[in-house]
Amino acid sequence: MSSLSTSGSRGYTVFGLSVAALVVVLDQLTKWWILDVVMQPYPRVVEVTPFFNLVLAWNTGVSFGTFGSSHAWMPYVLAAVAFAIVVALLLWLRQADRRYLALALGMVIGGAIGNVIDRFLYGAVADFLDFHIGGWHFWAFNVADSGISVGVALLVLDGLFAGREKS
């Protein structure tokens, strides 16, 4: 029986890593498209709908610009923190016993890696999705941020309801 649970757990790990890879690829492709196609020859606001724009904003901090700094070493500090979190999440992913959990962890891992790539390439994270209502704009974000946010929400839901599934 232990070999069955090991192969199932391995399957969830592969699934989670596949989700992470997909998030990284989508994130980097969309950032390339925004930086090299949409925002050329100069950054501007592209109105897509009455409530959604494409913009270019550079985030030197973490979520919603928290801990933003122009210090040259800050991207490396934030990348190191993200790397430590990714390692911890990878260890958790190896123990995942449900596809839902592997999906959530993969989304967070992929999002963190996508933003770390930006920190090394640009010294900041490229954000470009701008949702707004009237004059109020939500913080600009990207595909990696979406993966992190949705993944964390799924982890919270999993934590709230997983015990019910098992019992």
Contacts of 22 (CB under 8 A, 6+ apart): 110
Choosing from 27, 127, 130, 158, the catalytic residue is: 127
Compute CA distances 135 → 47, 51, 129, whole Å: 14, 10, 16
CB 58 within 8 A of CB 141: no
Closest by alpha carbon to 143, among 135, 155, 151?
151
Choosing from 27, 118, 130, 145, the catalytic residue is: 145
Q: Using CA atoms, how far apart are residues 59 and 2, in angstroms rounded to an integer?
A: 46
CB 64 within 8 A of CB 137: no
Say whether 145 is catalytic.
yes
First to last CA, the chain: 20
CB 107 within 8 A of CB 147: yes
C-alpha 112 chain-centroid distance: 5
Residues with a catalytic annotation lie at 127, 145
